[in-house]
Structure formats: structure tokens, C-alpha cells
Structure 1
Amino acid sequence: MSQLLRQGFIAALAPQGVPNLDIVVSDIGGQRQFGIQVKSRLEKGADGGWHMGAKHEAIESDQLFYCFVDFGLSETGAAKTYIIPSRVVARVLRDSHSAWLARPGKNGHVRKDSNVRRLTPDYTYAYAPDSPVYATGWLDPYLEAWHLLQA
């Protein structure tokens, strides 16, 4: 929220129980309103990603953005924030999960579907090893991309 305020927005916590957003945002003139869902992570786990659910594959709105916050090794260090439109997140989750399901698991077993999804900086594990789809670097254009909220 502090970053939004620094960018000149009015930002407030959404009321408890609102299902798809954490922060309600408006520009100073009240001409543009939108919501933000925040996902955060510490440097734990092998894939460097954020926990998501199957429901996030269907959440698409021009007025909803995600802020994926990466605290690195400690919550006290400098955080990196990726600002991504909900339509992009939904597409990436659908595409990567579908590709992951289509590829055989260890020893060739058929993978079972679940509600678990991950937004990761590198999806080459889900695709053929030489596939450029959502490979390392796909997140880079969204790093500190606060300008996307100005549109």
C-alpha cells in the first residue's frame, strides 16, 4: 500500500471477506478505481513462485491487478514487486497448468489435476525443455511496473 501512496494513488484495505482483492485503489480525482490482490513470498522452495489456486485461472478484469511481492531471504530486506494485470495472470496459470498436466510425471505416470497453481518466474518444467513459453525472464517486464496502474 505504501508504494501505491508513493505513486500518487489513494489506497485502502478492502473490507474483510472481499474474495478477490486486498486493496481498493483510486486516482486522486476519483476518475479511475481498481483493485489489487497481493501475493507475497520469502526465498523458500525451489521454484521461486507464489501459491495460487484454480479459481485464479478465471479471474479476469481490467480493474484488477496482482502485486506479487518477493521479500527474498528476509521480510526486512528490500522487496521486489511484480505488477501484473489479472488477465495475464489467468492466462499464464491456465496455459502452464494445462501444459504441466499434459506432460508425463516421474516414471511416465499421468498427472492428477488439483486446485493448486503456482505463478513462477520460469515454467520450463511444465513445457518441453527447449520451449521459450514463460521461460526465465517472462516476469521481467512486470518488475516494479507501477506505470501499468496509470493506464
Structure 2
Amino acid sequence: MSELLRRGFIAALAPVGVPNCDIVVTDDIGDRLCAIQVKSRNSTGADGGWHMGKKHEGLTAPTLFYCFVDFAMGKECAPFTYVVPAAIVAKALAETHQAWLDQRGKKGQQRKDGDMRRFLPSYDHLGTRQYNSGWLDPYREAWHLLERQTNS
């Protein structure tokens, strides 16, 4: 939220209990509105990704965005954020999870579906060209996507 305020957005925490939104953003006359769900990660975990759920595959509203905050660099470097429209996240989660299900497990077994998903900066291990290393780069610090939404 501090980054939104620093950039001149009008932003506030969503009320407690709102299921798919952490921050609401509007313009100076309250005419345009978008919602943000924040996900953060630190240096734990080998894949460099964020925990998501099956429900995120169905969240595609054009006014919903995710801010994936990466604290993985530690105290020496400032965190950075990927600002990604919900429809992009939903599509990536659905397609990469299906690709994961289609592959055999370590012991050759069929993988079982569940509610857990991983949103990753690289799905190279799945062999999906669309989501290879660097696919998230256009969304790094892409705050302009919110400006377009609040000014459209």
C-alpha cells in the first residue's frame, strides 16, 4: 500500500472479511475503482513462487489485480513487486497446473489434483514455453496497469 500511496493513488485497506481483495484503489473523485490482492514471499522455498489456491483460477475480473511482492533478496536490496491482472494470473495458474498434472511424479505415479497452486516466475521445469523464465518480467513494477484501470 505504501508504494501505491507514494505513486499518488488513493488506496485503503479493504474491510475485514472481503474474500478476494486486500486493498481498494480509486481516483481523486471516486469514479474509478480497482481491487488488489497482495501476495508476498521471502527467500524460503526453492521455486521462488507464491502460494495460491484453486479459487484463483476463477478470479478474472478486469478490475482485480495481484501485487506479488518479492522480499527474497534480503535486507541488502529493496523488495520488488509484480503487478499482474487477475485474468493473466488465472490463466497461468490453470494452464501450468494442468501441465503439472499431465506429468508423472518422481516415482512415475499419476499426480493427484488438489486445491494448492504455485504462481512462479519460471515454469521451465514443466516445459511450457509460454511461462518460461522471464515471462513475468513485463509485470515487474508495472504500476502503470493500475493507472490505466483507474483512468479508463
Paired residues in the alignment total 148
What secondary structure does 1:43 align onto? coil
Equivalent residue number for residue 119 of structure 2: 119
Equivalent residue runs for 1:77-88 within 5 Å: 77-88=77-88
Taking structure 1 as reference, are residues 57 and 44 closer, same or farther at Cα in structure 2, changes over 3 Å only?
same
Equivalent residues of 2:73, 2:79 under 8 A apart: no
Equivalent residue number for residue 29 of structure 1: 29
Structure 2 counterpart of 1:135, which letter? N
Equivalent residue number for residue 136 of structure 2: 139
**More relative contact order, 1 or 2 (CA 8 Å, 6+ apart):** 2
TM-score, with structure 1 as normaliser: 0.93
Equivalent residue number for residue 7 of structure 1: 7
What secondary structure does 1:67 align onto? strand
RMSD: 1.3
Percent of residue pairs bearing the same amino acid type: 57
TM-score, with structure 2 as normaliser: 0.93
Equivalent residue number for residue 62 of structure 2: 62
Structure 2: distance between partners of 1:41 and 1:75? 14
Structure 2: distance between partners of 1:99 and 1:68? 22
Equivalent residues of 1:40, 1:69 under 8 A apart: yes
1:67-125 alpha-carbon deviations (Å, 9 max, x no partner)? 00001143684111000000000000000000000011113210000101000011122
- The structure 1 segments of at least 4 consecutive aligned residues displaced by more than 6 Å after TM superposition are none
**Structure 1 segments unaligned to the other structure (5+ residues):** none
Structure 2: distance between partners of 1:3 and 1:27? 15
Which has the larger helix fraction? 2
